[in-house]
Structure 1
Amino acid sequence: MSDLEAKYFVRSFLNFIQNQIAERNFSADIVESLEVAQQCLETAYDLPNGDPEGQASQSEFDENHPMAAVNLFELFQNSCIGVKISPERKLEAENIKNEGNCLMKEEKYQEALIAYSRAISLDATNPVFYCNRAAAYSRLGDYQKAADDCKMSLRYDPSYSKAYGRLGIAYSKLNNPKAALEAYQKAIDLDPDNVDYQNNMSVTKQRLEEMNNAPTTAPPNPLAGFPNIGNIDLSAAFNNPAFTNLAQRFMTDPTMHDMISSLQNNSSMESIFETGQQLVSQLQNQNPELFNSLRQQMSNVARGGTGDGNNPGTDGTPPNNQPPSH
């Protein structure tokens, strides 16, 4: 929809509002609210509002244009309320739908979509038009719009099995096998002998079972295989929930981002030392228990221990070089 078309559409809606104010016995407060809404829409869409200053940039909008006089409510009645659609109008819509079917056979899907949309504009109550347009959307790869059209079709005919079948296809393409399965089941309930529905349902069931039975893999450990510092297993430290939670907070902390960016831009020993001090300070403030645990492990490693503060070192010598206890 072009900007100019949007202006004419909004103007037709504003005409409806003005007619409602004139025809209905609204209270003064409601009338005032509707008038404010009109002014807001006129401003948003740059529409003429009777103010000479507001019409300086309205040369493209012509109040005498046929589109400016469209009765939006009349169109709504003619298109959406079936009893008011004349037989001639219904026949015209049916002929346009048939043109769309021919275009689909010729694989002219975009042209077919336009034809079905024209048919819907003439008769918006026909479920076949929406279902056929859903097929065109599917061919064009727009599966969300295909699903939406299938749902519109089912609003007008809840027993339309083909609409359920195409809804199942759309959901499958949208990677929603559970919803697809429900749609196929309803299609089969309405048309039990349809082989296509049965095959699609079988394939969807298998896919859903594969998804449910797929093993859940743990996220890769970025420190796996990383050399230890002394006897501290960095890989095991990464699996410590306290450590991972703290790491996640660090990664989302804007201050940490600024510190790392500064370190990348300035790799001098002074900047590295300063950044390290800030990281240590952050760790100590946010999780003092984890900080003290890591500091204790580093202290034990420096003394030749295992890093847990209790067991002897790898050479059999206890911490502080004390003789082994018996």
Structure 2
Amino acid sequence: MSSRQRLVLSIIDFLNQSIDDGTVKQDDKESLEVAIQCIGEAFGVDPTDDRQNERLSVKPATLQSIFDVFIKTRDNFASPVASAAPPTQAPVKPSVADREYAEKFKGEGNSHMTAKQYDAAIEAYTRAITLDPTNPVYYSNRAAAYSSKNAHNEAAVDAEKAIEVEPSFVKAYHRLGHAHYCLGDFRSAASAFRRGLDIDPSNTNLNSGLRNAEARILPDDEPESVMTDAASSGAGAGAGGGLGGMADMLSGMGLGGGSGGMPDLSSFMNNPRMMEMAQQMMQNGGLERMMQNPAVANMMGRVQSGNMPSMAELMADPSLRELASQFGAGGAQ
């Protein structure tokens, strides 16, 4: 019964969200609320029961995202007979007014992203998509919002949708690669970055993402512990691994800041190897040179303003990659 109850809870969550975001007309709201109550009682699901919700919830996935993944998978594995069917009619192009309203919602979403109000940003981008489903930017922006709240499955679905709408939209391939990378699917991440590089071979972000993804792909006959041991020993940082290696080393020590979050400074200060590296940098003048680096000054300014850059941003900055290589070399001396 629990699997059915999980489905029912997901349906109830979807219906409640439809009420909250205005999808359902005000005149129909009361009827839908009664229907939600009847559905819950019929299957023994109480959406107000926190303990039951914790046991049955499928979050961060949603019924809509699960359905989107199913549709995408079914389309990818459609039979030859089905694929030979006549193409469906192209979606109706949005009106000029719809496009204008969609752009306004996109602007609202961007403002919410700046304020780190990711749920509000997702809602705004969703309204933009409803008005103009032909614009890949809206799907890409919503993918970024999902990634910012670590909902990487939903981010991957939106990135794929952006590519479906506009196959030459390069940024969507980076969003897709980033989502797969954060999910630990490094082969799919590398594939997404390569697809983007087929369109824009000189794209710095895609090249950096591909290098980082390929560095994490294990050979079929190599055990997982090899990668874990390499990360925990910090081999990437001292062997010319640059910021990518440094990221692995920090992650191995529990210092990875996540998606734009601050590292665990207490763990950092209590780690003997990191403190030894810091002392060596102070002795050989490396710390002073680091603080004079414009890239570090910019990063520190962002930290002081509360806008901590993510590890993905750091890895995409050439000057910080070079600085990380120097840091790794200095720490290994």
Is this a same-fold pair by TM over 0.5? no
Report which of the two structures shows the higher radius of gyration computed on alpha carbons.
Answer: 1
* TM-score category, normalised to shorter length: 0.3 to 0.5
* TM-score normalised over the length of structure 1: 0.42
Kindly indicate whether structure 1 or structure 2 has the higher relative contact order, using CA contacts under 8 Å at least 6 residues apart.
2
